[in-house]
Amino acid sequence: MNPLLLFILLVWGAQKAHLAEITSCFPDYYWRDFKGKIPEDAVEGGLSPSGRPFYVAQAYFPKTGLLPANVFPGKSEALSSGLGKEMKTNAHVKVLCSKHKKNFKWVPMESKDLHKLTSTHVVIGGGEIGRVLYIGRVFDETSPIVGKVFKHLHSNRGVWIPSNGGELNFLSYEILTYSCKDGPSNFPNSE
Instruction: Determine the pLDDT at residue 181.
Output: 67
Instruction: Determine the pLDDT at residue 11.
Output: 35
87 near 162, Cβ under 8 Å? Answer: yes
Instruction: Determine the pLDDT at residue 191.
Output: 38
Instruction: Determine the pLDDT at residue 176.
Output: 97
pTM of the predicted model, to two decimals? 0.81
Instruction: Determine the pLDDT at residue 26.
Output: 74
Per residue in 95-143, pLDDT tens? Answer: 999 999 999 999 999 999 988 888 889 999 999 988 899 999 999 777 8
b (16+ CB within 10 A) / e for 151-180: ebeeeebbbbbbbeeebbbbeebbbbbbbe
Closest Cα partner for 72 from 86, 42, 90, 52? 52
Stretches where the chain sits below pLDDT 50 are 3-22, 183-191
Alpha carbon dihedral 105, 24, 33, 163, in 10-degree steps, equals 40
Domain ranges of the chain: 29-178
b (16+ CB within 10 A) / e for 64-85: bbbbbbbbbeeeebbbbbbeee
Cα-to-chain-centroid distance, residue 170: 15
Instruction: Determine the pLDDT at residue 131.
Output: 87
Q: Is 132 helix (H, G, I), strand (E, B) or coil?
A: strand
According to DSSP, the residues that pair with 60 across neighbouring strands are 66
